[in-house]
Amino acid sequence: MSPAPQRLKVYLATPRGFCAGVDRAIQIVERALELYGAPVYVRHEIVHNRHVVDRLKALGAVFVKELEQCPPDRPVVFSAHGVPKSVPAEAKTRKMFYLDATCPLVSKVHVEAERHFREGREIVLIGHAGHPEVIGTMGQLPEGTVKLIETVDDARAFTPKDAGNVAFVTQTTLSVDDTSDIVGVLKDRFPEIAEPHKEDICYATTNRQEAVKQIGADCDLVLVIGSAKSSNSQRLVEVAMRAGARAAYLVDDASHVDWAWFEGVNTLGISAGASAPENLITDLIKAVTDRYDAEVIENAGVLETVTFKLPRVLTQA
């Protein structure tokens, strides 16, 4: 007789997976394909998830690095992370039809940065170097205008031209706790620093981190579904560890799980980054329940009701 499967409590974080900005960006590509046929070109990954990108490729989307790879007679979509101002300017010069899928909450940060620039402030951007969102935000203003700060040490070392005329904005997908520490240093050093009217870290990032905090302390192991390129997904792993999880890993999907991680595990937490589709979570839960006597418990998290409208050109067609 084979031994009974190991018992396992599975805590499912809520909310998890797609946010409104990701959902809108994907819908823009899908709707463009419906209206204009294939191919529709997309500059960079529409969101940071291989499964999403592969599905859109199968529908007729072509992903490129730069506009010069796009024919001028086909639609091109800009990714949810936002783009420097030079990109739509180039598209206009080439008379291209483009659709901007930038998340409205990222666009809010762009508007804030431009307002501070107009008002003559020295601007600090809290974020991760090389991330597409950071490149896009810094690219809203002349080169050298925005100073990037990644860590508390960077905040301590920052020396503005005028300590009384500084402002900060942030990437939308950062760790809430890490960013709070950096902002704390900036406010201590520059009491008059101008800050966002409403926090730049988006509601979805905040809610997903809070949900992982709620389950993390009770878990021997936490698995977060998401891409290694995804900032918000990486932050969820860090949040789980800080919350008290014994181990936490980022996985693309169920096929990337190392089942040796489950040795001695009695409690498992599952979450997903904001660009991970729900079917990947369903597949992971099935893979776990196929192997273990698992009780799945969904935590009572925030109910998200945010939606963003599609560009008018797509809804009026």
As a whole number, mean pLDDT of residues 188-192 equals 97
Task: Indicate whether 270 belongs to any domain.
Answer: yes
Question: Does the pLDDT at position 219 exceed 80?
Answer: yes
Res 174 pLDDT > 70: yes
What pLDDT shows up at residue 2? 52
Residue 308 lies in a domain: no
* Residue 304 located in a structural domain: no
Q: Please tell me the pTM assigned to this model.
A: 0.95
Please indicate, yes or no, if residue 214 is contained in any of the structural domains: yes
Q: Which residue is catalytic, options 45, 112, 122, 133? A: 133
* Alpha-carbon dihedral sign for residues 304, 305, 310, 315: positive
- Together in a domain, 81 and 127: no
Q: Is the peptide bond before 191 cis (omega within 30 degrees of 0)?
A: no
DSSP category for residue 296: E
Structural domain for 284, as ranges: 7-18+203-298
pLDDT of 191 strictly over 90: yes
Could you say which of 84, 102, 120 is where a domain stops? 102
Q: Does residue 314 lie within any of the structural domains?
A: no
Distance from chain centroid for Cα 37: 28
- Residue-wise pLDDT tens digits, 96-124: 999 999 999 999 999 999 999 999 999 99
| Spatial distance between the Cα atoms of 42 and 53, rounded to a whole number of angstroms | 10
Rounded percentage of the chain residues whose pLDDT exceeds 90 = 96
199 HSE (CA, 13 A, CB side)? 15
Q: Are residues 184 and 115 in the same domain?
A: yes
- CA-only gyration radius of the chain, Å: 21
**How many C-beta atoms lie closer than 10 Å to residue 123's C-beta?**
23
* DSSP 8-class letter at 250: E
pLDDT recorded at residue 300? 87
CA 266 from centre of chain: 30
User: Among 97, 124, 138, 254, which Cα is nearest to 196's?
Assistant: 124
Q: How far apart are CA 243 and CA 245, in angstroms?
A: 6
**Final residue belonging to a domain, choices 49, 67, 102:** 102
Count of structural domains within the chain: 3
Average pLDDT over every residue of 115-141: 97
Residues 25 and 13 in one domain: no
Residue 194 lies in a domain: no
Number of continuous H segments (helices) and E segments (strands) in the chain? 11, 12
Question: Is 133 one of the annotated active-site residues of the chain?
Answer: yes
Among residues 51, 80, 102, the one where a domain terminates is 102
Residue 197 — pLDDT band, cuts 50, 70, 90? confident
CATH code of the domain containing 210: 3.40.1010.20
Q: Is residue 125 included in any domain, yes or no?
A: yes
> Are residues 218 and 147 part of one domain?
no
Instruction: Look up the CATH number of the domain holding residue 95.
Output: 3.40.50.11270
Q: What is the rounded end-to-end Cα distance, in angstroms, of the chain?
A: 64
Distance CA(29)–CA(27), nearest Å, equals 5
67-85 mean pLDDT: 97
Q: Are 263 and 287 in contact (CB under 8 A)?
A: no
Mean per-residue pLDDT over the chain, rounded? 96
Provide the pLDDT for residue 3. Answer: 61
pLDDT at 167: 98
Same domain, 30 and 109: no
Q: What band does 13 get if pLDDT is binned at 50, 70 and 90?
A: very high
Confidence of residue 164 (pLDDT cuts 50, 70, 90): very high
* Domain match, 83 and 32 both: yes
**Do both 98 and 109 map to the same domain?**
no
Contact indicator for 140, 84 with CB cutoff of 8 Å? yes
Q: Is the pLDDT of residue 1 over 50?
A: no
